A = this chain, B = another copy of it.
């Protein structure tokens, strides 16, 4: 049985999306055991009349909720009874609980995970690693996408190692192609940090480093792992996601401007729906925080039921793959490089 704790508050569609997602995940995964964190009365009401295996679901009563604009450091100190902080504490204290999923505040989650859960031995900085679909049907991961705004070359090397092992063990990608996000493809491009990182990545035997990548090529399918500082990664991820959504909105608006286009679009309705689903990153799970000693996944704040199911499946797969033990074994080899 794999025990996962789900923070049911903090996201836009909470707690409905989380409760319904939990029920669906329980039905899909026979050895999944879920703990729902949040206000017990409210959660019991949400569960009322619904079909699920009650022997594999329990509730952790946590009456407080964390808002998106609260300062992470305040939250940890002041909101000890919140669904997120109580979940984190249980994850720390109960050896039988393997993982946690939350759609709440990223900042609070990172701060709480770092101070309460801690890092894998050898890991300098845990990092967010979301997954995106590529144009040829594959997947690409971006690490870090926002947990560490300022990074050293050694941080980036660790991100590369952790994300490579993640892609290999959880998504079955053989010898993941690792690229460094940069302003040009040539080896000498970028600032000093990037140039040193390029050298360090090239020298790391465990990695299949293929060189620099420009942000325009993220979805090309030529890369499996892209490493960068959290600021650039955040810009990359949101620009990619945002542009795809804006373009689809523009297409829709333009289609509605003419009855001829509306006719054309009616014929193509199924395709447009598929494009929208393709570029909806919720369909690919959440951002795992790589490098913490237990599995922590941040789901999109706007996650609906389907996205919550994806996050729970993802947490289950990561735990089943024994990713953390494998990561620890490789990271420790390079620990002497720590800066």
Contacts and interface: CB of A to CB of B under 8 A. Distances in A.
A199 interface: no
Contacts of A236: 215, 235, 239
Interface string A237-281: 111111111111111001100101101111110010011001100
A116 B146 CA distance: 39
A222 to B, nearest CB: 12
Contacts of A278: 250
B271 A261 contact: yes
A249 B146 contact: no
Contacts of A275: 247, 250-251, 254
Given A231-B232, A271-B261, A69 B238 contact: no
A239 B235 contact: yes
Interface residues of A, number: 58
Contacts of A258: 271
Contact of A231 (B150, B191, B220): B191
B242 A149 contact: no
A214 interface: yes
B261 A267 contact: yes
A219 interface: yes
Nearest to A188: B71
B261 A274 contact: no
A212 B191 CA distance: 24
A243 B239 contact: yes
Contacts of A219: 242-243, 246
Given A264-B268, A265-B268, A183 B234 contact: yes
Contacts of A216: 238-239, 241-243, 245
B239 A69 contact: no
A93 B234 CA distance: 44
A325 interface: no
Contacts of A267: 260-261, 263-264, 267
Contact of A181 (B235, B245, B247): B235
29 contacts: A69-B186, A71-B188, A135-B249, A146-B183, A149-B191, A149-B194, A183-B234, A191-B231, A214-B238, A215-B234, A215-B236, A215-B239, A217-B242, A218-B243, A219-B243, A219-B246, A231-B232, A232-B232, A239-B240, A240-B242, A243-B247, A247-B279, A250-B278, A251-B275, A254-B274, A255-B271, A261-B271, A264-B265, A264-B271
Interface of A: 69, 71, 135, 146, 149-150, 181, 183, 186, 188, 190-191, 194, 214-220, 228, 230-232, 234-251, 254-255, 258, 260-261, 263-268, 271, 274-275, 278-279
